[in-house]
Amino acid sequence: MADPLAAGLVENLGRPGRNITGFSIVAPELGTKRLQLLKEIVPGISSIAVLLNTRNPQAQIELREVRAAAATMGLETNPIDISDAGKMQEAFTAMKSAGAQALIVLTDPVLFSERKLTVELANASRLPAVYPFQGYVEDGGLMSYGPNDADLFRRAAGYVDKILGGTKPGDLPVEQPTKFDLYVNLNAAKTLGVTIPETFLTRADKVIE
């Protein structure tokens, strides 16, 4: 999950206690990194929409981090709530009214379930966007930066082995992601009129053409 400590599921990450352990899909620096990536390919932006589900406690934590990072970069943030998946069109209308020049989508299962529509509306609105998971980019989104799921699954298998061997889950630290992937979709870039520098593409873990 995103942040089990903030959600109150564990007592601390190093020694979670109770009968639970696992892996977090969120690291503190992710919001800053995603904003830096947006600024790198769209350097003239000054206002960014932040799409989130305010009913998700993790989204509130991410929003605070994004706002703090944006302030240091001289960026204005406009939070747009989408707790109801049926109101995605209204959310993008609100972004337009707020004068947003780019978009960052926060971690949330409701938003991920609506990723195809989100990507379609972002591209149609000509909003360069950075997403939390590669699935958005595979469905036509501009770029994503987030944890490598395969790496987390492999590490989780090691935990399963330890627990089946008798280790108490609460004695195993909740681990944060250590490997992050940058995905870029050049078709989306063309649609959005964004020119991505070659030096940027060489850093990408996957480029979709």
What strand order describes the sheet that includes 102-105?
76-81, 47-52, 102-105, 129-131, 143-147, 180-185, 206-208
CATH number at residue 78: 3.40.50.2300
Q: Which pLDDT score is estimated for 142?
A: 98
How does pLDDT run along the chain (209 residues), one tens digit per residue?
Answer: 777 877 788 888 899 988 999 988 876 678 899 999 999 999 999 999 999 998 887 888 889 889 999 999 999 999 999 877 688 999 999 999 999 999 999 988 889 999 999 999 999 999 999 999 999 999 999 999 998 888 888 999 999 999 999 999 999 999 988 889 999 999 999 999 999 999 999 999 999 99
Range(s) of the domain holding residue 202:
30-146+184-208
**Whole-prediction pTM value?**
0.89
Could you give the number of structural domains in the chain? 1
| Positive or negative torsion for Cα 59, 30, 129, 104 | positive
Query: Is residue 169 in some structural domain?
Result: no
Query: Is residue 117 in some structural domain?
Result: yes
Query: Is residue 1 in some structural domain?
Result: no
Q: Which pLDDT score is estimated for 169?
A: 93
Q: Which pLDDT score is estimated for 177?
A: 87
Query: Is residue 45 in some structural domain?
Result: yes
Q: Which pLDDT score is estimated for 137?
A: 97
- Decide if 91 contacts 65 (C-beta within 8 A): no
Query: 196 CB contacts (<8 Å, ≥6 apart)?
Result: 41, 184, 186, 189
Inter-axis angle of helices 30-41 and 57-72, nearest 10: 50
Radius of gyration of the chain (CA): 18
- Decide if 108 contacts 51 (C-beta within 8 A): no
Q: Which pLDDT score is estimated for 27?
A: 66
Phi, psi of 131 (to 5 degrees): -115, 160
